[in-house]
Amino acid sequence: MGDGSISSDQAGVRRGIGPVSSDDGFRRILAVWFLSAVCILLLPVVSWAHGFAGKRFFPTTFAVDDPFVSDEFSLLFNHVKSDPEVKTTSLAVELSKRITPNLGISVGEQYQHISTSGNGSENGFGNIELGIKYQFLTNEEHETIMSIGLGTELGGTGTRRVGAESFSVVSPAFFFGKGFGDLPESAKFLRPLAVTGVVGPNFPTRSRNVIFNPDTGETETERNPVSLSWGLSLQYSFIYLQSFVKDVGLGVPFNRMVLVAEFPMETCMSADCSGKTTGTINPGVVWAAKYYQLGIAAQIPVNARSGRTVGVLGLVHLFLDDLYPKGIGNPVFP
């Protein structure tokens, strides 16, 4: 989380002693979750199947969170050389579960392996991430989905050596997805296009860390900035093209592919990094079968703060509602 220019400091010298106690932070998270749950339950109910808006199927993408709720299990592999000396490989796991047809929760975890040339390597888990999302709009005719959600990274649940913070981060967000199937006949080959996006702030539960530097023997104060996550994914679906626009004769496996270009970004909004943006452009392809989805994408940093080399993302995604339609694939309260 946060801008890389301030958060990727000296590994092994951080001693987080913040002015806000962990109890206060936890109470704050509980309060935000409670208020969000109340707001979500007061919204109107419009129901539709997971990832669909009319005839549009929105696949799960790599780094930009989906606009829909679902019963799904994801494995996301990432390998990147963040600077010439450091290689990071991670495997993230996320389980999403619908409570009602429009309300879903998720839990995520990430295992990281960081190797530094000449200095060995570190392994460990990131902080546990919890999420709740409410899909409040599904418009079939205009292939539109909108959701609101709240994510929380639980501080202190991961391994400090691989950068897991001791404080939590609370992230309310707005999600949307729009397919262009309603374009006129003259632009019919643009109908397979769709866009999804997310925007929302990230609030750390501790405003700053006091860190002790054993090399200098001095303490330093590091501010934990509020940031804004925003991202888009552009998609061109060969499934849509073949099924609803024109059968151009694509065979297996191309007839199940969706070309995807993602733009996950984060802009720092406070502290020394204020106004600075980091992010990547992730061009890739997703292949959707009946029960699962596979994907691969490149990860290209948009500026020097975001990295210097191209990484790779790999996705394996299981549709639990299709695999287990009579069991755990159903909403708890259908």
Partner 1 sequence: MKRTENIQRLRHSGAIRTYSLLILTAFFFISPDMSWAHSFPDHSDPKVGATVAGPPGHVRIWFDGALEPAFCTLAVQDSGGKKVDKGDGRVNPADATLLEASVPPLPSGTYRVIWKVVARDGHRTTGDYTFVIK
CA dist 212 → 12, 119, 225, 292 (Å): 10, 21, 19, 47
Q: Please list, residue by residue across 235-266, b when 16 or more beta carbons sit within 10 angstroms of its beta carbon and e when fewer do.
A: bbbbbbbbebeeeeeeeeeebbbbebbbbbbb
Q: Which is nearer to partner 1, 94 or 266 (CB)?
A: 94
Stretch near partner 1 under the rule CB under 8 A, chosen from 114-122, 148-156, 201-209, 239-247: 239-247
Considering only 84, 216, 217, 290, the residue that binds partner 1 (CB under 8 A) is 290
Contact in structure between 166 and 173 (CB atoms under 8 Å)? no
Residue at 333: amino acid letter: F
254 binds partner 1 (CB under 8 A): no
Cis peptide leading into 253, omega within 30 of 0? Answer: yes
Stretch near partner 1 under the rule CB under 8 A, chosen from 199-207, 211-219, 230-238, 325-333: 325-333
Phi, psi at 107, each rounded to 5°: -135, 135
Minimum gap (Å) between residue 156 Cβ and partner 1: 12
Stretch near partner 1 under the rule CB under 8 A, chosen from 9-17, 96-104, 236-244, 306-314: 236-244
Considering only 39, 291, 304, 309, the residue that binds partner 1 (CB under 8 A) is 291
Considering only 30, 31, 41, 93, the residue that binds partner 1 (CB under 8 A) is 93
Q: Which is nearer to partner 1, 156 or 172 (CB)?
A: 156
Stretch near partner 1 under the rule CB under 8 A, chosen from 9-17, 25-33, 193-201, 320-328: 320-328
> How far is Cα 274 from Cα 228, in angstroms, rounded to an integer?
10
95 binds partner 1 (CB under 8 A): yes
- Check the CA dihedral 152-155-157-159 and report its sign: positive
The DSSP symbol for 243 reads: I
15 binds partner 1 (CB under 8 A): no
319 binds partner 1 (CB under 8 A): yes
The secondary element (H helix, E strand) that includes residue 33 is: helix 22-42
Task: List the interface residues with partner 1, window 139-178 (CB under 8 A).
Answer: 140, 159
Residues in the chain: 334
> How far is Cα 15 from Cα 219, in angstroms, rounded to an integer?
9
Residues that bind partner 1 (CB under 8 A): 49, 52, 54-55, 57, 73, 75, 93, 95, 109, 111, 124-125, 140, 159, 188, 239, 242-247, 290-291, 318-327, 329
